[in-house]
Every structure is written in structure tokens, then in C-alpha cells.
Amino acid sequence: MRERYSSCRTRQHNGGRDPKMRIDLEGKAALVTGSTQGIGRAIAATLADTGARVAINGRSPETVASVVADLESENRNRDLIAAPGDVTDPNGADAVLAAVGSVDILVNNLGIFGSTPALDITDDEWRRYFDVNVLAAVRLIRSSLPGMKERGWGRVLNIASDSAVVIPAEMIHYGMSKTALLAVSRGFAKEAAGTGVTVNSVLAGPTHTGGVEDFVYELVDNELPWDDAQREFMKLHRPQSLLQRLIEPEEIANMVAYLASPLASATTGAAVRVDGGYIDSIIP
């Protein structure tokens, strides 16, 4: 039995471990799209630490190979495979799926974002955001779901955003694509009803990913220590957040690991929030 390094276990009051609450994905194959950096990389690492065989995906074979090597060097017990390919292209998606084989856990994490004034968003940009953020996920679900249903177990997780609900005025095309992803998740959950397969979306809030520190220091005093700087940024520029700090990718990954596990068997068709209370609503 391989060692586990997951942060997703709970302890009993006596200091022991409750085996019923232990996340164990050994024997499951997971594909995490866009997993060479940021949230996707954190998700891939966490799923591997709970025993899953995880496919690392990105467009560049060299980058994918480098990330696989880095993740394996962090924990020699991780079972990782390289699955390079552009999943926004049908042929690329087929190549990625062929590298993985049967997919038990599909995490559609790939996404693009950027700010553009509302009236300047062209038809081509609207289509590009839909193709990358929505249609690529649909394509992979359409290919993976039949096998999951036949085996009587599977997990589909679509990484959405608080922007799906709180549409940002400066990037409504991005918000639109993430709102569409919520509808995709709910619809495919109905398709999988009663089969042992669950389909959910994860509403990720403002997250500490690459480039964010530079962005924060553009808006607050660059002499502040990072912890103080991010709290100042959140207070001034993201005041809706109840967490009042940026979310770490690993915090989102922990929720994904739970939803990917047998423990979440009764959660499907849901939009689960990991937003630090950013979305001002008492309804999930």
C-alpha cells in the first residue's frame, strides 16, 4: 500500500483516523485539463496524493513532461502520466483521451480569461471563449461519460468561477462562459442520473495563481509584506470576500478531491462554492 500525503483526511477526537472519512482514490484514473500550472496543477497533485493515477495535460509535450517530473520529485509515490494535447481541438482531445485510457474522474479545469470593454468584444472573441471554456469541456464529457455510466461509477467536475454568478463588467464574455458551464454541469448530471456517476461544478473565488502577486502590488503599496498586501487588496478591490485574502490553489484542490471521492456520492448537479464568501448569497 502506497503512503498517502493528502490534506483531506479528518481525525477522530482520540487522535486516530476514521477510515470512513479517508479519501482514497487508488485504482481510479483522473484527467485534469490545463494542469501544468495554477489550480489545475494543484488539483492534479492532490488527486495523485489520494491514490489516483493522474494524467497531466497541457498543449506542450515538453512542459507536460517537465511538470510530471517536478510533481514526481515532490512525492515519489505519485502515479502520473503525460497526456499532452490541445483539448479545444477534436483531434487533440482524442489524443489526450487515448493517452489516458478509461477516465474515472474528469476535471475540466482548462480556461482562458481576459478583460475587454463590453462593447469591444468581437464575434470571434465570443466564440473563442465559448469554444475553450465550454465546448472543450462538453467534448470531453461526451467522450468519457458513456464509459463511466457503463462501469457504474464516475466523477465529472467542471471548474467554474465566481464570475459565473457575479458577472464582471470588464469581462462579460468570460462570465458568460462560466455561467454556461454551470448549465452544462446540471444538464449532464441529469443525463447521468441513477448511474453512480456524479457531475458537479466548482465555483472558485479570487485565487493566488501565477502573476497575481504582481497584479496585487500594482494596486497596493509594494513595500507591504505579501500577507498584508493581499489583505489590503481584498479590502479595497474585492470587499465582498468574507475570507479577506486570496484563496490558495490547494484549497480548491481539496474540495475537488472530496467531490471526486466516494464520500461525495450524494452530491450531483451542484455548483459547489470555494469562493471565500465572495458571492453574496445564502444559497449555494
Q: Which grid coordinates are listed for 13?
A: 477526537
- In this structure, the dihedral spanned by the alpha carbons of residues 152, 139, 263 and 193, taken in order and rounded to 10 degrees, is -50
Inter-CA distances, 218 with 2, 117, 163, 223, 233, Å: 45, 20, 22, 11, 10
Check if 174 is active-site. Answer: yes
Distance CA 88, CA 204 (A): 22
Q: Which grid coordinates are listed for 238?
A: 474585492
Q: Which grid coordinates are listed for 98?
A: 487515448
- The single residue of 174, 217, 258, 278 carrying the catalytic annotation is 174
Contact status, residue 153 vs residue 194, Cβ threshold 8 Å: no
Contact status, residue 265 vs residue 155, Cβ threshold 8 Å: no
Contact status, residue 218 vs residue 277, Cβ threshold 8 Å: no
* Strand residue runs (E) in 25-114: 29-32, 53-56, 79-82, 105-108
Report, as residue numbers or ranges, the catalytic residues.
Answer: 174
